[in-house]
Structure 1
Amino acid sequence: MEWDRLVALVVCCSLISSAEPQPFRILVKKQEVNATVGDTVILSVRPSSPVSGGFWKFGTESIVIWTVEAPYLNVAYTKRFVHLLDNTSLLMYSVTLSDSGDYWVTMDSPSGDEATARITLNVFPKPVPFTIAVKHSEISTIAGDTVVLSVSPSQEVKNGSWRYGGKDVVTWEGTLPEVNPDYRRRAAILAKSSLQLKSVSTSDTGEYSVTMSTASGNTSTAKIYLNVHKSARSCETYNVGLAISILLMLICILVIANHIRKKNQTAAGEIHDFLTVFCKGYRVCVSLTMVMSFNFLIIFSSLINWYLCAPGERPAMDFSQN
């Protein structure tokens, strides 16, 4: 009997509480909304009962005011493609950084009750793609030289590695590089990006790849081809040969000029121009010497330039190239 009374009491209390009217309120789907510049954003809300009107505000500025009739948009937002969805939620196109902040919505019920809710919008800049700029995609050098494979990341780098021939040359985490034992005392990282190689040899010729990662997890890769030529003998021989050839040619010219001057002094009225020199007896030997010296200059410079000088060190006066 007591149990029946207790059950009846509970049922009566439930009926009384359910009969009481619920307060008018605004339900927020997401209290904080994150977006990127240019995104479309919906500040989604739902009233607990039908509404007679309301308004959205950003700071102290009204965005939209509506009643049961057509909503009225604030003039400042007519060019921002703002719409009201279902007479409650706010739709915003192409948001900008300046749109970040608190948005307040206030609604009125037909009975005169009022409710307010807040949504925070966070607009972040568009992420910049992480890239690695390469100064020279192909580098030529001479065996024994020091070379720098220069790259420049677009963002701060957390870690990275240089690889050659399928194995790591140097890896680094923060500011602590770890060099492959095969490259110890030869490889180093400059400015947490570029690779420096000392005393390179022809075996270092090939493609080098660098991979870097940022703190946010973005990764990028770049490649550089290194071409190491055999150590060339000095071009001093070329310079000496060139100087000797020019000297011989100058001597020939001086001899001819002196010969003409003497003849002019001893044989008044006789003209000794170059045509005369070529056409008269023993003077042909002097002329031929001059021509041969000039030819020797061309041939000698070409041979020395081709066989003794590396492509990167060939002098500017290169007769072997067109």
Structure 2
Amino acid sequence: MKLMVTGGAGFIGSAVVRLAVARGHAVVNVDKLTYAACLDNVAPVAASNLYSFEQADICDRAAMDRILADHRPDAILHLAAESHVDRSIDGPGSFIDTNITGTYSLLEAARSHWTRQGKPDGFRFHHISTDEVYGTLGETGLFTEDSPYAPNSPYSASKAASDHLVRAWHETYGLPVVMTNCSNNYGPYHFPEKLIPVVILNALAGKPIPVYGRGLNVRDWLFVEDHADALLLVCEKGRVGRSYNIGGSNERRNIDLVRTICALLDDRRPTHAPHDRLITFVEDRPGHDLRYAIDATRIRDELGWQPSVTVEEGLARTVDWYLANEDWWRALQARDGVGQRLGKVG
């Protein structure tokens, strides 16, 4: 199968690219190479004759038309998105442009391509989204595919809008789509502005580890390589027009997650130990959702997928990866906004 992966130089997209090539799929990686993208993420497969790269913006319809005509993919996995909630609070415009207008542009290019090819039954437009579109949970309950949308940040609102566009293009035009909404990802190549890399890198430097509020917000953590496996499975075997929630079944309070990472670093890099003394509670961000948790029954029962990595195992693998790949993360620390407090209103 030949795949077009948008955002394939990003965190989750690059995991999909690496796994797809390893499984023998031809992949064209389409990425604008914005601040959070890094071609080093796909270096392990860059020399493969199954891999090609196109630097392009999904908002550029002419570029999307050309790439689809040149590469003629059997499926599009659409991961290109602005994704950092804090940045969406400071500058929502780019989230509207990329996540909404960009998805519209790509849908229209995909529809035109699919039509030119004779509307093959096997073509798929796979839209990758987030559990944040469902809003927040209380202390109990799980998000299902039927949960009402109630986004609370500019980021999640823009992703919710893109989900609705994809669904509409299926219902109105018959475009064969599948959709997935995932919980929080973590693992190798995670951009250094997100929580887990921030904890690791600040702890290594002996700097304060910022935790929003009292660290009581709960997330369901999904190892990125498990997510990539699920995405390829849904793309190949998911029912057209169907959405699938993908979760790790690994709920943790932020403060507990941070302390677990500190304990791992105490053992591996004891210079600043105990690292949990660096934990610093900071002003919470506006609209911070209390809890996310995924019910992944549908993907388990229909497609036979379940996560293979526990959060304890995944965090250990992630910490070890960052310790072994200092050149990768040091190069990214100089990028715009990294290491700064973002997402404050007032």
Q: TM-score, normalised by structure 2?
A: 0.18
More helix by share: 2
Structure with greater contact order relative to length (CA < 8 Å, sep ≥ 6): 2
As a proportion of its length, which structure holds more strand?
Answer: 1
Structure (1 or 2) with the larger CA radius of gyration: 1
